[in-house]
Each structure stands twice: as structure tokens, then as C-alpha cells.
Amino acid sequence: MAKRKKFVNIPVLTHLAEESHEWPYENPLAPGHRMCPGCSIPPIVNMALLEYGKDVVTGSNTGCLEVTTGVFPYTAWTVPWIHVAFENNAAVLSGAEAAYRAFKKKGKIDKEIHFVSISGDGGTYDIGFQALSGAAERNHNMLYICYNNEGYQNTGYQRSSATPIGAFTKTTPVGSKIVGKEEKRKDLTLIMAAHEIPYTAQANPFNYKDFTRKIRKSKDVKGFKFINVLQSCTLSWRTKPEDAFRVLKLATESLYWPLYEVIEGKFWRINVKPSKPKPIEDYIAMQPRWRHVLKMPEILDKIKEEIYTKWDFLLRMEKLSKELAEDLGFTLDEIFEMSWDEYQEKVKPKLKEKTYLS
Amino acid sequence: MAVELIKERKAVAMTGNQAIAEAMRQINYDVVAAYPISPQTELMGFFAEYLANGLVDTEFVTVESEHSAMSAVIGAAAAGARAMTATAAQGLLYMYENLPIASNWRLPITMVLVNRALSAPLNIHCDHGDAMTARDSGWIQLFTENSQEAYHSLIAAVKIAEKALLPAIVNMEGYIVSHTIGNVNLLTDAEVREFIGESDWRTNVPHPLLDTDNPVTYGATALPDYYTELKYAQHVATFEAKKYVKEVLEEFNQLAGTDYKIIEPYKLEDADFAIVVMGSSAGVARTAADQLREQGIKAGVLKIRLFRPFPYEEVAEALKHLKAVAVLDRHDSANGLASPLFQDIATTLYHLPERPMLHDFIYGLGGREVTVEDMLRAFNRLINLYTGRETRDRYVEYLQVRE
């Protein structure tokens, strides 16, 4: 394919261009899509797919990304892309991936093709969870990215199971008796790690080095990969368009959205450990959808309890993982930094020896 | 590569499910995705044994639901694969959301629908309730009478779907055909593979996802400015599909020595009264017609093989000279009018200057046995209505109900 003009549509991508080993193609998502100003979906998609190159088949569930990128007769996708319905992209791509394997084993296709689904939290945490869990269990060789904006933004902001406690949505309004969503958010990253899939990670497009490294890792790992990416929604979170990345930065700095990765449900590594976490109040204060809870100590207390106990849990998992890695004669970093083939060759046999054979 | 197992034609005793699994082996699909539901479960079990013994090259995606089964075959077909699934009743309803998407995208998927009654009440036995829900989904639908026809129809359906670029359902009646042993004449593996041609991701569909050098978007939104045109394109394709069904059945007849047509008239040329029916009950109706002819009543039967697209021209031609026609619907649409086959026949005949009297019988629900006596009762009621010896207050009646 002839090299076309390269488009750089947000500042963060200029940094990426310097960082990335290659910049061979135009953005996977061409300019002219209909996403809101200040939406952080396009950089997530572009950063992720640039790492995958052009031999990739992508897809999405119904949602913001889907309705804004393919409005007939136009498309913003410069790579193959498929959207069938709201809940089934994991299944759709598992079928496409099976088709690829069928032709590959018959020698009817030479090139290496990767499969990447990119869908919102409604289509991932809720209605699409069954298809996601099924595809993960069958361990299709594909990456599933959830851009998690914590609600049904495409339909005008209703609650999803990713919406945090106390947040306003149109189905959980702030009233005199009930204040926002009453339940805490579902932790889908933990659920996917519990599937013991080869690779699970939580990422943040603000930390683009960490995010793109995880994407590169996912490209190397064979089997099902899941990356949960926090994504700010200017429309529903009511943050200012220019604050999209500021609010995302605070999400990780306040421990609301820890960045970590998990291999096969066994090795857990935290990627960013703020030396002095920012107060969660700072993160909440930037979001008009949620900042009413700052005046409600009971709800705020529940939010803090959720965040800090989760952080403690992750630290403990990492500690255990370090012990396990050392028992096997590695450091935890070595295990995460080696290639997937090396992991199979060096770590897996030792893991077997140290655990059920001893 | 898939093993060549049957090198010479042979006649074997097989259930419908075994015959379909045999056809699946010979077709050697690229991708099969399925989820268990009675009476389809056994079929996938037989196929899985072929797979486990290395007799096929298929990627078998054992999905977690029927919704994902249809999603996976859509993904596979869009990628460029020859893909197939099978289901029944609730399974079809669960995957239903995806059916009109497959047809609007012109994906040549094949599906075996092992006909089963819809809940409630829960019932695993045969009627056509599941197939009727898919009548407006844009899929080609073939109905079959026995294992032999089901086996032949699936092989033909692969080619029909790929020529018409529309997905196709092969209906096989649950238990009555799926679990009943009958004679099946098998074609050789080589004959089947030559008939359908080799699967190639570059040519199975016009725009495969796997062609990353020519990226395509599947599933764009079409708003009021384009939706109508995209539906019209499908409308035209559906009408044209009948031509491809006829062509492929003709090619198939030449290969297998069969005589499949999109409709199968039985003693209709000189008939006064007829039953229109689909599936295994056609044989029972033919026996009843023969018995009536012995009594001097000119009775006949019309079996519909191609249900979608509905062969209205051929049906009108076959029925136009009759005095009265009883349509047998193995499903109750509960719509306060009449059931689907009756509505199709009535619509078909309406444009004729003179047309037979019509009456609708709902029969065989939830696996209720269909006997020659039932068919004779239908004929007699029809004749009595026609001659004025009996009257009716509705166009639709239950044939076998205990009141």
C-alpha cells in the first residue's frame, strides 16, 4: 500500500510518533469521524492500532466509536472493521479469527493477521459480557480493548455496571431520596484476570508509554488479551474538552484507576505507583457528574474504601507474584519483559515443577 | 487436508442428524459454530467425532450461546469463510437479532434448523414455529421431507447461498426426521466437493475482511438518506434468489439423479381439492389424496420446498384451477387472522381472476402425530365447506385439538 499523508490529530500522538519504533501508516482512524471534541476514544484507537500495523481485522460493539466512525457511505476506518450488534463483537471476531486459522492451516493465506475488538463498557461489562467471557475461555488469538467511559454515553448517559458509586446518570439521577448510582462499579479487569487468559491489563491513554507498551505486549502474546482503558467523556462526565487528559491523569494519580497487568492470572505487576497519591477529591472535583458527592461524607467514604482496599489488594497480589517469580529464579520484571515464546519456554516448565509436581 | 472417506456412492440407513453431519463432513466447512439445543445436539456430536478423528479441516467454534453462534459465523463469513451453524426453536430466537444482518450483508451462511416448537409451554418436539419466526429475516428457506432430502438440501444450499449471496436455512423436522432412520443415498466426497467447489477466502464473499490490502467496513450506520436504498438492494436480491435456487437444484438433479423442484405438486393437474403442506407431513397427505381418489374424489397435494423467497408464480400456476385448497400450517401465529403459509398462499392467489376457496388448518403442534385420518379429516372438512354442507366462522381452525 502506498504511503499516504500522515495525520496527527492530537498532541499526544506527536509524542507517540517519537516513541514508537515505527510510524508506517496513516492513522487507523482517519480524520472526519464524528466524535465529540475532547473525546478520548480516537487517541486510544489510534495509539492501539498503530502498534498493530495494517494487517489487522478490527471490530466494535454498538456504541460511540461505532456510530461516529461508519456512517454510510463514509467510513473513518483505514483497516478492516466489522460491527454486527451491541453485544457480540467478541463472538464476531472469534469467528473471523477461526476463519483465519482455517485458511492458515490449509496454507491458503500467508500473512500474519491480528484481531482487535474495541468496544465501550456497556457492550463489554454488561450486554456483551457473555460473548466476551466465551471468547476469552476459548482463548481466541485476539485483543479486546474496552474503552471504559463508565456509562452508556451513546444513548445519552445511562448507568452501566462500570459507573462509580454516587455518580449522576440519567437512570440514576441525584434526587432528594437517592443520590446517583447506589452500587459500586464492577471490576471487570479482575474478572478477566480470573479467566486466567494469557494477558490482562488496565491502562490509561494519558500514560501513553505504558498504554502502548501494553499494546505491544498484547501483540506478542498468543491467545486472548484484555485491556481495560479508562476513557473520559466530555459530554457526560461534563469535564471540559481540554481537560480530557488532565482528568485521566488524576484517575491514576489518585489510585482510582490503577495501572497494572496480569499474566495468566498468576503474575500481577503494578505499573505506576504514585509516591504520594493525589486526593480522590481532586479527581472527583473535575467531574460535574460526580462532584456532588464531595459534600456527602458517607458516599465519599464508600468511594475511598473501594479504592484503597483495591489498591491494597493489588499490592498484595504483586508481592505474592514477586515471591513466585523469585521462587522460579526470575524477577517479576523479567517475566513481564520477556517475549511470550520465552515465557512458554523458560517460565512455564518451572512453574509446573514448583507447583503441582513438587 | 480432509480425508476422502466415501469413494463410491452408497445407500445407508441414517437418521436425519447423521445425514446432516455426513453432509457437513463432505462439505468440509471452514468454520462451524454451534451451541447445544435439542434436537440439534446430536448432529453436532456426530460432527465433533469427525473432527476429533481428523476427517475434516473445520474450525469448530463451540460458542457459549446461539447468539454468539450466529455472531461467529457472521464474523467467519465476512472474513471470507464457508461457515455454518445449526440450531432449533429457542436457539433461533436467541440468535434472531443477527439474522437480518447476515442477509442484508449478503453473507452466504448456511444453517440447519432442526424444527422444534417454541416455548411456552416448553416442548422439544417438532413444529414449524421456529422457522416461521425467520420468514421475514431475508434468509432463503428450504423445507425437507426426510433424511435424504435434508442431506441433499444442505449440499445444494451451500451453492445456492454462494450464488445468490444470501444466507440459507435448511429446515429438518425435529425427531420426525432428525432422529428417525431412513434410507440415504450418499454421494461420494469427491462429487460433493466438486459440486460446491473449493472454498477460497478471496472469492467466497466479494469483500473479505481478511483482505487487509483492501480494507472494508462492515456494519456502517445508514440513516434515512441511504437506508431505503440499502434495503431495496436486498429486496431485489431476494427476488432474484429464486432463479439461483432453481438453477442449483437443476444442477444438483443432474448430479444426483433426483428431481427436486422448488415446489412439488402431486396429482394436481386434474384435481378439485388439495392440501398445501411443508415437511414430512407431505407423504401423509399424499396417502390421503390417493385414498380419496379411490373413492372418486379428485384430490392432490402441493408440497412447498422453497419457502423463502416464496415461489408465488409457481404456486399460483399449480393451484389456480382448483375448487378449494386446505393450507396446513404447523404453527399458530396467534394473530387473530391465519398462520403464515395460509397468508402466503392467499396473497399469491388474490391476483388471479378466479381462485380456489381457501381454508387454514393448524396441525402437528409440539410433535403431535400426523396421521392419514387427520389428512382425510382436513380434506372432508374442506369439501364440506366448499359444497356448503358445513359452515365456518373463521378461515383458520385447529385440526387435531381435544376440546
Q: Is the Cβ of A68 closer than 8 Å to some Cβ of chain B?
A: no
- Is A99–B76 a contact, with Cβ atoms under 8 angstroms apart? yes
What CA–CA distance (Å, rounded) separates B266 from B303? 8
What residues form DSSP beta bridges with A56?
Answer: A114
Q: What is the pLDDT of residues A293-310, one digit of tens each?
A: 999 999 999 999 999 999
- Is A59–B68 a contact, with Cβ atoms under 8 angstroms apart? no
Strands B182-186 and B168-173: unpaired
pLDDT tier, A9 (very low <50, low <70, confident <90, very high otherwise): very low
Return left, alpha or beta for A135; rule: phi > 0 is left, psi -120 to 50 is alpha, else beta.
alpha
- What share of chain A has pLDDT > 90, as a percent? 89
Q: Which DSSP state fits A294?
A: G
Strands B182-186 and B10-14: antiparallel
Is it true that B10-256 and B263-398 share their CATH fold?
yes
Going from the C-alpha of B104 to that of each of A242, A251, B101, the distances in angstroms are 41, 43, 5
What residues form DSSP beta bridges with B140?
Answer: B168
Q: Is the Cβ of A112 closer than 8 Å to some Cβ of chain B?
A: no
What CA–CA distance (Å, rounded) separates B155 from A239? 58
- Is A96–B219 a contact, with Cβ atoms under 8 angstroms apart? no
Going from the C-alpha of B201 to that of each of A327, B101, B133, the distances in angstroms are 48, 20, 31
pLDDT tier, A358 (very low <50, low <70, confident <90, very high otherwise): low
Is B292 within 8 Å of B241 (Cβ atoms)? no
Going from the C-alpha of A206 to that of each of A28, A40, A231, A252, the distances in angstroms are 19, 9, 9, 9
Q: Is the Cβ of A34 closer than 8 Å to some Cβ of chain B?
A: no
Going from the C-alpha of A356 to that of each of A198, A263, A350, B311, the distances in angstroms are 19, 19, 11, 65
Which helix H or strand E contains A18, and what residues bound it? helix A11-19
| pLDDT at A6 > cutoff 50 | no
Other C-beta atoms closer than 10 Å to the C-beta of B100 total 16
Other C-beta atoms closer than 10 Å to the C-beta of A136 total 25
CB-CB neighbors (< 8 A) of A133 in chain B: 64
**Sites in chain B below the pLDDT cut of 70:** 1
Asked whether this complex has an ipTM greater than 0.90, the answer is yes
Task: Provide the shortest C-alpha distance from residue A51 to chain B (in Å).
Answer: 16
User: Which residues between 89 and 118 in chain B have a beta carbon less than 8 angstroms from any beta carbon of chain A?
Assistant: 97-98, 101
| Averaged pLDDT for residues A229-238 | 96
- Is B226–A67 a contact, with Cβ atoms under 8 angstroms apart? no
C-alpha cell at B37: 439445543
| pLDDT at A93 > cutoff 70 | yes
Give chain A's count of helices (H) and strands (E). Answer: 13, 8
Going from the C-alpha of A30 to that of each of A26, A74, B212, B313, the distances in angstroms are 8, 11, 16, 49
**pLDDT value at position B364?**
98
What residues form DSSP beta bridges with B111?
Answer: B85, B169
Asked if residue B120 has a cis previous peptide bond (ω within 30° of 0), the answer is: yes
Which chain A residue is nearest to residue B204, measuring alpha carbons? A99
Name the residue among A159, A180, A153 with its Cα closest to residue A40.
Answer: A153
What CA–CA distance (Å, rounded) separates B382 from B390? 9
**pLDDT value at position A21?**
44
CB-CB neighbors (< 8 A) of A75 in chain B: 217, 220
| pLDDT at A182 > cutoff 50 | yes
CB-CB neighbors (< 8 A) of B1 in chain A: 106
**pLDDT value at position A12?**
37
Q: Is the Cβ of B198 closer than 8 Å to some Cβ of chain A?
A: no
Q: What residue spans define the domains of chain B?
A: 10-256, 263-398
| Averaged pLDDT for residues A137-148 | 98
pLDDT tier, A27 (very low <50, low <70, confident <90, very high otherwise): confident
**pLDDT value at position A25?**
53
Residue tagged 460535574 (cell numbers): A288
Contacts of A194 (CB under 8 A, 6+ apart): A265
Q: Is the Cβ of A28 closer than 8 Å to some Cβ of chain B?
A: no
User: Which residues between 25 and 64 in chain B have a beta carbon less than 8 angstroms from any beta carbon of chain A?
Assistant: 30-31, 33, 57-59, 61-64
Q: Is the Cβ of A119 closer than 8 Å to some Cβ of chain B?
A: no
Q: For testing the chain B interface, which of A55, A64, A72 should be mutated: the one with the most B CBs within 10 Å?
A: A72
pLDDT tier, A26 (very low <50, low <70, confident <90, very high otherwise): confident
Q: Is the Cβ of A95 closer than 8 Å to some Cβ of chain B?
A: yes
**pLDDT value at position B3?**
85
C-alpha cell at A174: 441525584
- Is A130–B73 a contact, with Cβ atoms under 8 angstroms apart? no
What sign results for the dihedral spanned by CA atoms A154, A158, A161, A164? Answer: positive
Q: What is the pLDDT of residues B296-340, one digit of tens each?
A: 999 999 999 999 999 999 999 999 999 999 999 999 999 999 999
What sign results for the dihedral spanned by CA atoms B131, B137, B143, B149? Answer: negative
Secondary structure of residue A94 in the 3-state scheme:
helix
User: Shortest CB distance from A81 goes to which of B76, B210, B218?
Assistant: B218
Going from the C-alpha of A185 to that of each of A249, B45, B231, the distances in angstroms are 20, 41, 41
Of residues A24 and B173, more confidently modeled: B173
CB-CB neighbors (< 8 A) of A73 in chain B: 220, 226
Q: What is the pLDDT of residues A159-172, one digit of tens each?
A: 999 999 999 999 99
The reply to whether CATH 3.40.50.920 applies to domain B263-398 is: yes
Strands B59-61 and A267-270: unpaired
| pLDDT at A23 > cutoff 60 | no
All domains in chain A, ordered by first residue:
11-325 (3.40.50.970), 328-358 (no CATH)
Q: Is the Cβ of A190 closer than 8 Å to some Cβ of chain B?
A: no
Return mean pLDDT, chain A: 92
Ranges assigned E (strand) in chain A: 56-59, 81-82, 114-120, 142-148, 199-203, 224-230, 260-263, 267-270
Which helix H or strand E contains B232, and what residues bound it? helix B227-256
| Averaged pLDDT for residues A103-107 | 96
pLDDT tier, A19 (very low <50, low <70, confident <90, very high otherwise): very low
Which chain A residue is nearest to residue B82, measuring alpha carbons? A99
CB-CB neighbors (< 8 A) of B62 in chain A: 138
Task: Provide the shortest C-alpha distance from residue A323 to chain B (in Å).
Answer: 36
CATH class of the domain comprising B10-256? alpha beta
Q: Which amino acid is at B270?
A: D
User: In chain A, helix, strand, coil percent, each to 5?
Assistant: 45, 15, 45
Name the residue among B252, B12, B19, B308 with its Cα closest to residue B150.
Answer: B19
| pLDDT at A18 > cutoff 70 | no
